[in-house]
Structure 1
């Protein structure tokens, strides 16, 4: 019996991260170029996810070393503090259209949708509405998931069908990766680690591209550094009227 599940889990995560490096580097660079174009036009980066995928909006927003012009779409109905209702709300058609309408998004902005399955109506409707408005769309999803399930949207489409850039996070169908003797289901998901690694890679690549173009994008500094508050204050004052969470 293999009791060293820590080693097994971390080995699988490392293997999946290696797949991302091998297969998704070009897509990550493409996403970074899209975002760099948006930043140069003084646009905002909107990021959306439902349930646990809302953590990626939090990861990209107001983050030490992260981009300032990030608008996290923290839709309350699909936040995990509402409990298991999130799974029901994300399956209701047309709500994503309302979310887009209320967002203030325009054609000069970019929308990132993190949806591992890419199948539920809320993110699909959001993607469709944004696409129709000329918004650039990046999605982070699992190729294995999308190949293994059907869409829940009435059109049969997935988020990826509206995306300009698709990044595969290479998590397994069902997410969990560890078999334990006596258990009928696998345990321990990897999608959160993988998608956060992709998001931070996009941020680093975006900033590098911007600097190489001669444009220095606004970046947050840790508020726990002695000069962090003074550094961040200028960005807060510049964007507080455009990003409601600041």
Structure 2
């Protein structure tokens, strides 16, 4: 008897759990990079275009998350709900393959080699995430990439040199999602449904979040994780949220200190 769509999807998710678990050592290596960045008072730059933005928001800010992550969410690349018309999906899909946009995004920040980066792209081939990783590496900033390995390997690079996100990352992690991302084949349907990269990606980022928190705590700097009133009481929840957002603001301010120049003028005439 054939499996139901629900059981087919859940079985694929179980396999993704195993894929993620097998990468524990690599996730711990990534967490060591991230913890080192956060301990210096800097931030981990987290980027994903398209639906990969969900992994960025999974990292920060939400319950169980803490300051130290700089979420790079470009609405022009990930504003999907209108689908068509102004700000539609066609424009977003076009823009994520415009060469040079990555440079304009990072022009907003005063990057330092003590920073680190986490870039999510299921295919590993869209130009903006690939060029972001390339720029980070050129600045001496280590890059951790999350891709769907078999999907990325089967996809064609948008670059003339054929390079993909994996070519500009010190650590590459695999969501375990299949080619095409969708998992469940319904009899009578041409295409599969129900993508899996979000499930694998969410497991990866949360494992790294937890591993990084462990390292920060062992270093005597336990992070301030957002918690709801139902968990810690209303007064404590508000206190944590305010303190965490203040810390985020102070860390972010350091990324703007010398934008455009090293003299504090931002490249403006004195």
Same fold (TM over 0.5): yes
CA distance in structure 2 between the partners assigned to 1:150 and 1:79 by the alignment: 21
Aligned residue pairs total 243
Aligned residue number for residue 36 of structure 2: 37
1:57-106 Cα deviation digits (max 9, x unpaired): 11111211112121111112101333312111111111111112223332
1:119-198 correspondence to structure 2 within 5 Å: 119-198=125-204
- The answer for the alignment partner of 2:268 in structure 1 is none
- How many Å separate the matches in 2 of 1:34 and 1:75? 24
Counterpart-to-counterpart distance in 2, 1:155 and 1:124: 12
1:142–1:169: 8 Å Cα contact kept in structure 2? yes
Give the CA deviation at 1:232.
2.2
Q: Secondary structure at the match of 1:102?
A: coil
* C-alpha RMSD of matched pairs (Å): 1.8
Q: In structure 2, how many angstroms separate the alpha carbons of the residues matched to 1:237 and 1:152? A: 40
Superposed CA deviations along residues 176-223 of structure 1, whole A, max 9, x for unmatched, are 111111111111101001101110000111111222233323322235
Mapping 1:77-92, distance limit 5 Å: 77-81=76-80, 82-84=87-89, 85-92=91-98
Could you tell me which residue of structure 2 aligns to residue 66 of structure 1?
Answer: 65
Q: Which runs of 5+ in 1 are unaligned?
A: none
Whole-angstrom CA distance in 2 between matches of 1:48 and 1:234: 24
Determine if contact 2:148/2:178 at 8 Å carries over to the other structure. Answer: yes
How big is each residue's C-alpha offset from its partner over 1:136-156, in whole Å with a ceiling of 9 and x where there is no partner?
Answer: 211101110121122112331
The CA deviation string for residues 102-146 of structure 1, in whole angstroms up to 9 with x for no partner, is 233322211110001110111111111111111121110111012
Partner-residue secondary structure (3-state), 1:208: helix
Rounded to whole Å, the distance in 1 between the matches of 2:77 and 2:11 is 32
TM-score (norm 1): 0.92
Contact 2:28–2:211 (CA under 8 A) maintained in structure 1: yes
Over alpha carbons, which structure has the higher Rg? 2
1:46 to 2:52 alignment: no
- Match of residue 16 from structure 1: 16
